[in-house]
Structure 1
Amino acid sequence: MADGKADGKPIAPKQPKPSSGFRATRGGTLHRLIAAVLPILVGLFVAVLLNGSRPVERIRNIVFDEFQRLAPRPWTPDLPVRVADIDDTSLAKLGQWPWPRQRLAELTARLLENGAAVVAFDSLFSEPDRLAPAEILAQLPDSPEKQALTKALADSGKLTTDPLEAAFRGNPVVIGLALSNRPASPIVPMKTQFVKLGDDPTPVLPFFSGMILPLEHLRDAAAGMGAINYVPDIDLILRRVPLVFAAGGGPDKVLVPSFAAEALRVAFRTDTPIIKASNASGETNFGGVSSVIAVKIGDAEIPTERDGAVRIRFAGSQPGRILPVWKILAGEVDRDEIDGRIILIGSSAAGLSDLRSTPLDSAVAGVEIHAELIEHAVSGARLARPDWALGAEAVLLTLGGLLIAWLAWRLPPTIAALAAVVMIGGGLFASWYMFLHRDLLFDPVIPGVSWVATYLCMTFVVYRQSEQEKRFVRGAFQRYLSPSVVEQLAADPSRLRLGGETRDVSILFSDARNFTARSEALNAAGVVQFLNALHTPLTAAVLAERGTIDKYIGDGLMAFWNAPLDVSDHADHACAAALTMLAAVPAIDAGLRRVAEAAGRPHTPLAIGIGLNTGSAFVGNMGSDQRFDYSVVGDPVNVAARLEAATKEWGVPIIAAETTRRAAKKHVFVELGAISVRGKSAEMQIFALHGALSGADPDFETFCALHRQVLDAIGARAGDAEAKIGTAVQTRDGARYADFYRRLRARGGHIEVETKKLPGGS
């Protein structure tokens, strides 16, 4: 526009500097977020890992159990352990439990005759035999027959001698005791005297305050006595069995071997097993709490976890390990199955309730767990979490978390996620390898979970940062482009290329009057202040009606509708925006007046002209590969610009083309006549946008009739034209067109007037 330039160049408002409070890079804010979030995340998982909480233990045990199921310990018939099973068939054939001690003595004798290296009873003999002859005689009424029977039994020695004691005496027999926390439970010395190397292991061993002991004569006769206690995990699955317990307090505190450890001691004919603890020769606890490293019984050195428990490498229940008691007593078991072996006597009968769960079996006789432990020890199996496992896992967790965070920051999400999956899979494979080939248990779950959490956390941080950057960029570009254009480009970046499409659009041009004279009275800063004050409310009016700002040309503004987003009634929206812009002029002018008065300079009243046109035009990205604008081009654009220029000539603020008048169903127009447009051979009809149809004056039809008479009189140069003009301008609507009538009459009425009646009666 001619008066939208100064010194031949368009005047544009100076762009404000971006706020220094936000840096749209990943260098500052993201680094601070990483520094704040990542240490907290890693520290949290390290703390959970080192704390040994129950959820951590449960997850860890699930993985380790699955490893055992995938690769159980191989079982071979030559292993030196068998279970003499008091099964349901034995109970059916030999009578219900408890059996007379005489029968158990016979079983012991039969096993020893067949060469058993050790006979170990997985039971408590803490009460007298209810089926002993003396107990039965006590229940009989006094009679000569009772007296005779009593004398006969006394002469044979069966009233005073326990057959089980006789079977135990001088033979490799082990019996069980139970540790408890009952008040006033007795504590007795053990037959086993442990040798301790390194730190005192007592504080880390499972502790009980008392004992439930076998009868004194039986424990004196037996070669060994061990605790039959188990310490199951929270899910009641037995994975670990202690080799040594601590019992009692003060000077009475003793170290108690487990049942399986005592059977091994008796089998190896040793009295002094060795407990190797931290700070023994070649061992260290790195300044931490003392821990048990291994227990050496005879030729077997059994690695343990820090509390002296053995994590058993289970083979599972094996039929070849089981010798039914009834077959032993019936002589139906080959001597090779007994000779030189450790025979554990226990029961798998459901009614005796000595069933346990292991990682491989949901219900197995408790005596088989003792057998599994002995097999584990003598076969050289090693399955343990070393005392340094937690530290190694914490280091791995931290380093892996840092790497995952770095990958999530530097790489696209898909690639970073794939890298995280590879790392987690690598950790799981490494854990499986250490289990399979090194008999060591390293936890792959907690580091893996922490890596996933780190990845998710960092992805969220990067996402939030990216969203902040997008909002910043979107907010910045919305100062240059229509918000609808920005949103469409954000949703579909493929549109950010040269090209476009032909669409039916409505175009608006606006321009301020006397801008050249105004700019001459202002300095550069004043010009910018004026343009900002002008364009801000006018732009708001366009955007409120879903319009797209195309460009600012000094004091001029170009906007269009129905692109990039579809606006079905775009002509009405363009008209509504034009009326809002016109209504905003008084407030803008009042503000400019106050600024001029404050600066002590004269104020030039503000007026604007608006041109509207509707038609088919090309819309899209135009320019070059280096820089382009989203704009609209075509003949309708030129016409809209010419109509805006015509407002100065015809004295009406808003002029619309015939196409806009036909398309805008919610607005009323007043015809102005025909106008010659540069570049077009034929004249075109133009109309003044009068207002919204819903807000039209009730006398608008009357004014339209008077307006038609004025146009006819001026066109015919009738003598009563002035009188008709006077009548028309006396109406409320006609007063707005007084300047137009004056200009039209001064031009001699040479404009051709359309005879078709306007919508709404105009």
Structure 2
Amino acid sequence: MPTPLRNRLAPLAIGLLLLALVLGATRSDWPPLRDAVQTAEHFIYDQRLVWSQRTGIEQHDDAEIVIIDIDERSLGAVGRWPWPRATMADLLEQLWAAGTIVVAFDIVFAEPERNPAERVARGVDDPALRERLGELAPRFDGDRHLAEQLARGDAVLGFFLHRDETATHTGTLPEPARGAEELGTGTPVIHRFQAYTGNRPALQEAATGAGAFSVIPDADGVVRRAPLLLGHGDAVYPGLALETARVYQLLDDFRVETVALGAHTAVDAIELGAARLPTDARGQALIPYRGPRGSFPYISAVDLLRGETDPDALEGAIALIGTSAMGLYDLRPTPTDAAFPGVEIHANLLAGILADDLPRKPAWVDGANLVTTLTAGLVAAGLLPFLGPLATLAVTAGLLALLVGGNLWAWAQWDLALGAAGPLAAVLLIGAGNLTWGFLFEHRRRHQLRQRFGEYVPPELVERMAEAPTAYTQTGETREITVLFADIRGFTTLSERLDAVALRELLNRFFTPMTRVIFEHGGTIDKYVGDLIMAFWGAPMDDPEHRRHAVAAALAMQREAERLREELAREGLPAIEIGIGLNSGPAAVGDMGSAYRRAYTALGDAVNLASRVEGQTKAYGVGLLVTEHTRAGLETVYGFREIDRIQVKGRSQPVTLYEPVEATQSPAET
């Protein structure tokens, strides 16, 4: 298999593997994976909700809902909770007088209130006085006063359902919900509770309705949904918001749409008048939070009791009585606030019910998430391996933007709460995987390139080559190059005069400056053979001016040789003379050799001719000779003295030899 294709198939396989892992994670029932996916989905849901609030996409044209807040100031003025029932009756009387249409309580009146007249009568010995106190007792009956006020208008009491099996039953539950009879039989999947805290019977009978204010937070403790239907025993009860909406709309009941879910009965939706309220299988609705804490108008309970409230603020409104006081423990974490009053949670849900704009998460959403994850993952896995790093980054960002934009559009257009963790994770992981593979692959290729060319090519050129490693190859190719051969004249005689150690040191002193000069002029070292250096210009990096650079290097090598001669003479060592030959032409360059040892080299007639030209320097008594092929185009850069025309073995045409004698202008040497 060709290497480029193999290099593409590896990240493709990695991408498909990552996609399979994401799909497995989103469908897994293993608690750690399931919790991780849920955490991601919850985070995305919360951010989407906050985004829609900040951008003003959530528009609310609903009934006026006002919160009567038993706040810290009210507790300080009236007294600690629970307040006397007479005080609550006064509060309710003020609401009716202001024209409030419906009053709902996010509190429960479970315990009987002691009658002060009866308490005093039990301690009196005088029968006549005891009888008189008994006659006065109804006037001090707080439950009776509150019941009378409840009966004056449409009041909805709240009650609490417990999951704790050890909790006791307190108070009285209202009549079960009409229209939910189907959920009272079989094995419904709505939340079932083991105990309750209800209201006093007299109060329950006086109220128009009652709804449970129990909420069930998600696994992370955040309240994102609330049950519209709750079960206790075989009975089904409405949530506080649903019951308040029913009473406000003067409806006798609501209807529950159910579907079979295996052996269970699941809720599909709730019909309330003309509205069809979407729920999950357990009868829970997503809460359409309109903003942070305080998004609904608040009226302090003490201001209402003192008559210091503008009546217009309550006329025609729905009033929810609850508390924001920290000491009464009804503050919950929500997507918009870490400490959100429970009464405002019900206000948000009630507003969504009345406006018929509850967020929807139909049963088919899970299937849609699976298809979206699969599609996005396949696109990323199939496309990214064939792109470069910048294109991979751009396409990954584009896919993420498309997924996020589509998700937000579905939310803004249809209140659809689509999942996003799976598709986003698939694209992110596959994109990161491709970028990581590309980085490692490019790093490996650059490392290999430095290893292969580092001995032949100047370090700065190796770094330039490493910036685009795919542009350079060691496979055989034909290039137009200039070849240089240089050796020490009389090396055989010299080697006989020196021992091995001295000869090695002499060669090192010769090769080091010569190699430096070649590298400084952008040349590639081919090999050292004895006292001979072979180098060339024009490969592996393209060099349009390889002739000029090679001649400049040869002249600099002559200057270095002169400097070295002077050094050796001062040290009493034999002087050295060098001969350099240059030729230009096409040659085969590449990685050549055997399975045991290979080298990057140049082969061809142009190389052979350069070697022969170097051999002629001694015969003509010059240090540097170039052919007409190297001289071509450099006439205005260097001065050339024609030496001779020679016939070279294997060539039909004679070759003209020249000696570069001087620079007619300052040539660039790199």
TM-score range, shorter chain: 0.5 to 0.7
Distance 2:467 2:508 in 1: 23
Shift of 1:482: 6.8
Distance 2:76 2:450 in 1: 86
Partner of 2:217: 232
Are positions 1:260 and 2:219 aligned together? no
1:107 pairs with one of 81, 91, 114:
91
Unaligned runs of 5+ in 1: 1-22, 280-284, 513-540, 550-558, 568-572, 582-609, 641-655, 683-762
Distance 2:382 2:449 in 1: 25
Residue 501 to residue 449, structure 1, CA distance change in 2 (3 Å): farther
TM-score (norm 2): 0.66
Distance 2:510 2:409 in 1: 66
Shift of 1:680: 0.8
Structure whose alpha-carbon radius of gyration is higher: 1
1:561 pairs with one of 488, 492, 515:
515
1:151 pairs with one of 128, 132, 140:
132
Partner of 2:660: none
Are positions 1:25 and 2:6 aligned together? no
Give per-residue Cα distances to partners, 1:455-507, cap 9 Å, x unaligned. Answer: 1212333444455666777778799x6797994563366998978999xx975
Shift of 1:125: 1.3
Shift of 1:658: 7.5
Whichever residue aligns with residue 65 of structure 1, its letter is L
Residue 97 to residue 415, structure 1, CA distance change in 2 (3 Å): same
Are positions 1:172 and 2:154 aligned together? yes
2:67 pairs with one of 83, 86, 90:
83
Are positions 1:98 and 2:76 aligned together? no
Shift of 1:378: 0.7
Whichever residue aligns with residue 191 of structure 1, its letter is P
Partner of 1:137: 120
Partner of 1:390: 366
1:201–1:277 Cα contact (<8 Å) kept? no
Whichever residue aligns with residue 678 of structure 1, its letter is A
Distance 2:402 2:578 in 1: 82
Distance 1:413 1:664 in 2: 54
1:354 pairs with one of 330, 337, 340:
330
Shift of 1:375: 1.2
Distance 2:368 2:509 in 1: 62
1:44 pairs with one of 13, 21, 33:
21
Whichever residue aligns with residue 679 of structure 1, its letter is Y
Shift of 1:454: 0.8
Distance 1:674 1:116 in 2: 111
2:39–2:220 Cα contact (<8 Å) kept? no
Partner of 1:452: 428
Whichever residue aligns with residue 143 of structure 2, its letter is D
Distance 1:546 1:368 in 2: 88
Shift of 1:121: 1.9
Whichever residue aligns with residue 121 of structure 1, its letter is F
Partner of 1:377: 353
Give per-residue Cα distances to partners, 1:419-454, cap 9 Å, x unaligned. Answer: 221222222222222222221223445533431221
Residue 673 to residue 306, structure 1, CA distance change in 2 (3 Å): closer
Q: Secondary structure, in 3 states, of the residue corresponding to 1:266?
A: helix
Distance 1:328 1:272 in 2: 32
Give per-residue Cα distances to partners, 1:154-186, cap 9 Å, x unaligned. Answer: 356347783133444586332222121333546
Identity of aligned residues (%): 23
Whichever residue aligns with residue 70 of structure 2, its letter is I
Distance 1:186 1:313 in 2: 33
Residue 665 to residue 46, structure 1, CA distance change in 2 (3 Å): farther
Distance 1:234 1:198 in 2: 25
Partner of 1:620: 537
Are positions 1:212 and 2:197 aligned together? yes
Partner of 2:618: 677
Residue 160 to residue 460, structure 1, CA distance change in 2 (3 Å): closer
After the TM superposition, which residues 66-81 of structure 1 pair with which residues of structure 2 at under 5 Å, given as runs? Answer: 66-70=50-54, 71=56, 73-75=58-60, 79-81=63-65
Partner of 2:110: 126
Shift of 1:368: 2.2
Partner of 1:437: 413
Partner of 1:301: 276
1:498–1:624 Cα contact (<8 Å) kept? no
Distance 1:547 1:456 in 2: 51
Residue 332 to residue 563, structure 1, CA distance change in 2 (3 Å): same
Q: Secondary structure, in 3 states, of the residue corresponding to 1:205?
A: coil
Q: Secondary structure, in 3 states, of the residue corresponding to 1:106?
A: helix
Residue 662 to residue 52, structure 1, CA distance change in 2 (3 Å): same
Whichever residue aligns with residue 39 of structure 1, its letter is L
Whichever residue aligns with residue 40 of structure 1, its letter is L
Distance 1:208 1:623 in 2: 79
Shift of 1:623: 12
Give per-residue Cα distances to partners, 1:278-331, cap 9 Å, x unaligned. Answer: 45xxxxx8x898753322234433222343222222234568733444454455
Distance 1:636 1:73 in 2: 75
2:457–2:519 Cα contact (<8 Å) kept? no
Partner of 2:400: 424
